[in-house]
Structure 1
Amino acid sequence: MKKGLKELMKLIQSNQVERIVVNYRDRLIRFGMELVEQICECHGTEIEVINHTEDKTYEQELVEDMLSIMAVFSSRLYGNRSHKQKRIKEKIEDILKE
């Protein structure tokens, strides 16, 4: 869970937040929005979505969730690869400088 979301959840649980305003429903959290909505409801926090999209079928939501999962993991994979390549390049440069 992201640091900002953790802090927001603490504020909600301590009843310090009356309303959360987001541009799109999935901008607050990618997965588990129903859980966040339930926690907000229990603590009297309203979630306001500015840009509503059309209602989607279960299948459409499932496909979007699967694509999001793939995007998150592929970005992590490619990010790890680029960090490894950067470290290798730096080590080679250090060796060449010696």
Structure 2
Amino acid sequence: MHEYVSITKAAQIIGVTPKTMRVWDNEGVLKSYKTPKGHRRYSLDEIESLALGRVSNVVNIDNKVYIYSRVSTRKQCESGNLDRQTQRLQKYCLDKDYEVVEIYNEVDSGLNDRRPKLSKMLSNLDSVSKIIVEYPDRLARFGLNYLILMLKNIGITVEFVEDAKSKSINEDMTKDIISIITCFSAKLYGARGRRKVKKTLDELAMPKLIEKAVNVIEGDSKMSTL
């Protein structure tokens, strides 16, 4: 009688991730048996044969990755920020021995939930196991944890090169705050009101106001630790 093992056990025997096992299953390289509840089970004989290298034409996607890089403004892109960010990520992948399947570069706000390049990347995740991003806020300003959880549930790891907590206030934060205000203004007053509010914020030197506000917050935080 044939012995069957779970997808997790099969992946451990071969030395790959469950996501790779699912890809092999979908491509017909190593078919699974489905239980009445839909769980994948694998023949232990086939798994051991694969582990010993007796199954050919197998592609391991565990080191295959996407790169996602983003800046908020066209000005940042034209000054080379986007290119430098992408180059840093490429070097990181080279050092980690990752195979970069595709690079997704985007010029858009981190608050925008309709970013075309991000949407395209998230719609085509079958051929990779990781997404490499420089900072958490490069991927999303809000809802990041939900996005990471969703990706984890389908076998995709999001790997951040740097920790965004050490970053200071910059043009990105300014643009995102202005985007929040203008977005709500548009809902309340329409497009005409939105343009008027944005013009007013620009005239008020919004970056300086934001920096002052952050300095106050940081000062209060330091006082609370004394």
Which deviations, in whole Å up to 9, do the C-alpha atoms of 1:37-57 show, x marking residues without a partner? Answer: 1111111111111012459xx
Runs of 4+ in 1 over 4 A off after TM superposition: 66-69, 74-78
What letter matches 1:31 in structure 2? F
The structure with more helix, counted as a fraction of residues: 1
Q: Would the alpha carbon gap of residues 39 and 68 (structure 1) be closer, same or farther in structure 2, given more than 3 Å must change?
A: farther
Number of residue equivalences = 69
Aligned to 2:10: none
Q: Would the alpha carbon gap of residues 75 and 43 (structure 1) be closer, same or farther in structure 2, given more than 3 Å must change?
A: same
Matches within 5 A, 1:53-68: 53-54=164-165
Query: For the residues of structure 1 that align with 2:153 and 2:175, how far apart are their CA atoms?
Result: 28
What letter matches 1:42 in structure 2? N
Q: Secondary structure of the residue that 2:124 maps to in structure 1? A: helix
- Unpaired runs of 5+ residues, structure 2, are 1-113, 167-172, 184-193, 200-226
- Superposition deviation, residue 35 in structure 1: 1.4
Matched, 1:38 2:149: yes
Instruction: Tell me the TM-score normalized by structure 1.
Output: 0.53
Q: Which of 1 and 2 has greater Rg?
A: 2
Matches within 5 A, 1:8-27: 8-12=121-125, 15-27=126-138
- Superposition deviation, residue 73 in structure 1: 3.6
- Superposition deviation, residue 17 in structure 1: 2.8
Query: For the residues of structure 1 that align with 2:174 and 2:152, how far apart are their CA atoms?
Result: 29
Query: For the residues of structure 2 that align with 1:46 and 1:68, how far apart are their CA atoms?
Result: 29
Q: Would the alpha carbon gap of residues 32 and 68 (structure 1) be closer, same or farther in structure 2, given more than 3 Å must change?
A: farther
Which deviations, in whole Å up to 9, do the C-alpha atoms of 1:1-27 show, x marking residues without a partner? Answer: 210111122123xx3331111110110
Q: Percent identity?
A: 20
Judge conservation of contact 2:135–2:161 (CA < 8 Å) in 1.
yes
Query: For the residues of structure 2 that align with 1:38 and 1:67, how far apart are their CA atoms?
Result: 28
Which deviations, in whole Å up to 9, do the C-alpha atoms of 1:43-81 show, x marking residues without a partner? Answer: 1111111012459xxxxxxxxxx9775232457746x97
Query: For the residues of structure 2 that align with 1:33 and 1:19, how far apart are their CA atoms?
Result: 16
Matched, 1:72 2:179: yes
Once superposed, what is the RMSD of the aligned Cα atoms? 3.2
- Unpaired runs of 5+ residues, structure 1, are 56-65, 83-98
The structure with more strand, counted as a fraction of residues: 2
Instruction: Tell me the TM-score normalized by structure 2.
Output: 0.26
What letter matches 1:72 in structure 2? S
Query: For the residues of structure 2 that align with 1:53 and 1:81, how far apart are their CA atoms?
Result: 27
